Amino acid sequence: MRVQKLLLIIITGALTAILLFSGAITYFMSSEESGPITAIFFLGVTGAFSVYFHMKTKELYPFADFDEPLEELSKKYWALHISFGLVLLILGITMTFLWFKRSSDLSILGISIFLLLLGLWSLIDTYILNKFIVSYKERRERQEEINDIGDNSAV
């Protein structure tokens, strides 16, 4: 799982850098409508938060029993990370359907499948991480209750 997390950090970081760089270049070079440029930049920003999310949660891998409490990550980072995964997933699906309509270039299909898989991978990773954290909190709470019972019976 640790290798998976490191791969997600590297791939998401590279994609984020490409999106932010291309968004900035397009913004400064273009004199047209800024709708697509804003979308590319927004995707780059959510990608940056996704990289931050992966960096903060990589210490939880491999999943194991911890003696100390988990560091809570703000809900806004969870939301931005999930939005990045959803946008990649939707973008990948849309591009795949457009490719099937046109059937023009295989490189577009490759990019769309890559985005689709990256979005899906990111969302599955988030789901597994959330299940682990919920399970960890439940186990920790039960352990604290057992310790409290043990401390009260000794008195």
**Mean pLDDT across the stretch 33-40?**
68
Q: Find the largest Cα–Cα distance for the chain.
A: 78
Q: How far is CA 116 from CA 17, 63, 69, 74, in A?
A: 18, 26, 34, 26
What would the two tokens of residue 30 be? 């273009």
**Mean pLDDT across the stretch 46-63?**
80
pLDDT at 77: 86
Long-range own/partner contacts, residues 98-102 (CB < 8 A, 24 or more apart):
none
Model confidence over 67-106: pLDDT tens digits? 666 777 788 888 888 998 998 899 888 888 888 887 777 7
Q: Domain boundaries in the chain?
A: 2-63+74-125
Residue 66 above 60 pLDDT? no
pLDDT at 123: 93
Share of the chain above pLDDT 70, in %: 83
Model confidence over 138-148: pLDDT tens digits? 888 888 888 77
pLDDT at 7: 87
pLDDT at 6: 84
Distance CA 60, CA 37 (A): 35
- Comparing 87 with 5, the larger pLDDT belongs to 87
Q: What region, left, alpha or beta, does residue 23 occupy, with left being phi > 0 and alpha being psi -120 to 50 degrees?
A: alpha
pLDDT at 35: 62
Cis ω before 69 (30° cut-off from 0): no
- Comparing 1 with 81, the larger pLDDT belongs to 81
Residue 29 above 80 pLDDT? no
The residues, any chain, with a CB within 8 Å of residue 84's CB and separated by 6 or more, are: 12, 43, 46, 47, 49, 50, 119, 122
